[in-house]
């Protein structure tokens, strides 16, 4: 065996050091933690560009909605709230502020769809909501059929005279107060009147007792006079 010269020995030591350094670098790369590798800068690829917007970084079902991890009933980006607590979520509730309705229906969110008289027209559109035979008052009003309108207490109110006027009993005012009809003459005497089914009678407080009072009309609905004790009192 030949002994190495000093220069040969130095070169051999250098080569051994370089070889040891390479082995150390390789071993470090193999055992580096995944997180450390992930954090290292890397070149962008075409795939990176395509997935940049929809990157599901937290691996849930709503990657762009920080408040949800799955679509549930309303979908990503929409709340699952039920503000009026009617059991229909806001995203599906067309009346989200009205617990009695989840859709406007006929009457809108604020009003219930009720047809009290069951005539097929909801109360919100029925101008005679308690009259199943009419949906508008017409000429005669709700609860009265059209045609010759029945005489109402309001139609009787007015001033009447028996002609020729010979005394204050021939000057009469018919009044209606609180639903009560009264006959009152200029002599200061008055009594009650009753109107039932279009028939007018004096009350028992009348000095002539209970009598039928005839109603004279023009066109069937305008009162032109009253007949009392066989005398005509003309409306003035
Ligand atoms: Ca609701
Ligand atoms: Ca109705
Ligand atoms: Ca009606």
User: Does the pLDDT of residue 21 top 50, yes or no?
Assistant: no
Residues 201-211: tens digit of each pLDDT = 999 999 999 99
- Structural domain boundaries of the chain? 62-113, 115-147, 153-235
Domain 153-235: which topology? Lipocalin (2.40.128)
pLDDT at 206: 97
For residue 70, the number of C-alpha atoms closer than 13 Å in the C-beta half-sphere is 2
Q: State the distance from the centre of ligand 3 to the C-alpha of 133, rounded, in angstroms.
A: 6
87 Cα: distance to centroid of ligand 1 (angstroms): 6
Residues 6+ apart with CB under 8 A from 78: 91
Residue-wise pLDDT tens digits, 141-172: 898 888 878 888 999 999 999 999 999 999 99
Q: What is the pLDDT of residue 26?
A: 37
Ligand nearest to the CA of 136: 3
| CB-CB contact of 93 with 105 (8 Å) | no
The rounded Å distance from CA 91 to ligand 3 centre is 36
Q: Are 214 and 227 in contact (CB under 8 A)?
A: yes
207 membership: H or E segment, kind and range:
none
Each residue's pLDDT tens digit, 115-138: 999 999 999 999 999 999 999 999
CA distance 89 to 93: 6
**Token pair of 60 as six digits:** 């849930």
Task: Provide the pLDDT for residue 151.
Answer: 87
Cα 141 to middle of ligand 3, angstroms: 11
pTM here?
Answer: 0.47
């Amino acid at each position: 065996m030949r002994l190495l010269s000093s220069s040969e020995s130095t070169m051999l030591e250098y080569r051994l050091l370089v070889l040891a350094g390479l082995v150390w670098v390789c071993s470090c790369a193999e055992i580096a933690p995944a997180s450390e590798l992930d954090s290292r800068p890397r070149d962008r690829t075409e795939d990176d560009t395509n997935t940049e917007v929809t990157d599901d970084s937290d691996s849930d079902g709503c990657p762009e909605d920080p408040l949800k991890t799955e679509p549930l009933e309303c979908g990503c980006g929409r709340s699952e709230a039920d503000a009026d607590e009617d059991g229909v979520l806001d995203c599906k509730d067309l009346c989200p502020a009205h617990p009695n309705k989840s859709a406007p229906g006929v009457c809108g969110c604020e009003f219930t769809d009720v047809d009290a008289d069951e005539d097929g027209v909801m109360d919100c559109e029925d101008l005679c909501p308690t009259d199943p035979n009419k949906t508008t008052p017409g000429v005669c009003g709700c609860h009265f059929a059209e045609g010759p309108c029945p005489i109402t207490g309001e139609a009787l109110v007015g001033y009447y005279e028996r002609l020729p006027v010979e005394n204050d009993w021939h000057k009469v005012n018919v009044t209606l107060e609180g639903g009560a009809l009264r006959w009152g003459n200029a002599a200061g005497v008055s009594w009650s009147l009753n109107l039932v089914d279009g028939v007018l009678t004096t009350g028992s407080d009348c000095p002539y007792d209970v009598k039928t009072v005839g109603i004279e009309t023009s066109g069937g609905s305008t009162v032109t006079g009253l007949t009392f004790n066989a005398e005509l009192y003309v409306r003035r």
